[in-house]
Chains A and B, each alone.
Chain A
Amino acid sequence: MISKLLEVTQIGSTPAGLFDIPEKYWPDAGQYLPCQRITGTPEVLVTNLFRTVGLAGGLTLSPLPENWYPGDEIAYLAPQGNGFHLPSTVSRVGLLAWGVAPVRLLPLVRLALDQNAAVTLFYNVDNDQDILSWVPSAIEVVPVSTLGDYLDWMDFLVVDLELAALDALAGVISGAVLPFEGQVLIRTPMPCRGLGACGVCAVKTKRGWRFACKDGPVFSLGEVLHVAQ
Chain B
Amino acid sequence: MWLNEDAPLQKQDFNLAQPFVNTAGSLGFCPDLQSIPYLPRLGAFITNPISRYSRSPARSRTCLPYEGGFLLHTGLPNSGISRVIRQHKHCWAGSLVPVILHLLVETPETLEEMVRKIEGLENIMAVELGLPADCEPHHLQAFMDAALGELPVVVCLDPQQVCKLGDAIPDGQCAALHLVQPRGCLPSRTGEIVSGRLSGPGNFPVMLYMARQMIERGVPLIVDGDAIHPWQVKALQEIGVSAIGLGGVLWQTDTNVIFQLFDQT
Contact = CB atoms under 8 A, between A and B. Distances in A.
Contacts of B57: 199-200, 202, 209
B252 interface: yes
Interface SS, A side: loop
Contacts of B70: 44-45, 191
Interface string A42-62: 101110000000000000000
Interface stretch (A12-20, A31-39, A111-119, A128-136): A31-39
Interface stretch (B27-35, B106-114, B151-159, B165-173): B27-35
Interface in A131-180: none
Nearest to A43: B252
Given A42-B254, A75-B254, A191-B251, A197 B29 contact: yes
A3 to B, nearest CB: 10
B61 interface: yes
A46 B199 CA distance: 13
Nearest to B74: A199
B206 to A, nearest CB: 16
A44 B248 contact: yes
Contact of B251 (A2, A35, A38, A192): A192
Is the interface on chain A under 10, 10 to 19, 20 to 34, or 35 or more residues? 20 to 34
B251 A46 contact: yes
Interface residues of B, number: 34
Contact of B63 (A77, A191, A209): A191
B51 interface: no
Contacts of B228: 42, 44
B74 A195 contact: no
A193 interface: yes
B56 interface: yes
Interface in B25-45: 25-29, 35-36
The prevalent SS among residues of B at the interface is: loop
B61 A34 contact: no
A75 B258 CA distance: 13
B1 interface: no
B58 to A, nearest CB: 8
Contact of B35 (A44, A191, A195, A198): A195
B102 interface: no
B251 A193 contact: yes
B61 A35 contact: no
Nearest to B229: A42
B72 interface: yes
Interface of B: 25-29, 35-36, 48, 56-57, 59, 61-63, 65, 69-70, 72-77, 199-201, 228, 248, 250-254, 257
24 contacts: A42-B257, A44-B69, A44-B199, A45-B65, A45-B70, A45-B248, A45-B251, A46-B251, A75-B254, A76-B253, A192-B26, A192-B251, A195-B26, A195-B36, A196-B28, A197-B29, A198-B48, A198-B72, A198-B74, A199-B57, A199-B75, A200-B74, A202-B74, A209-B56
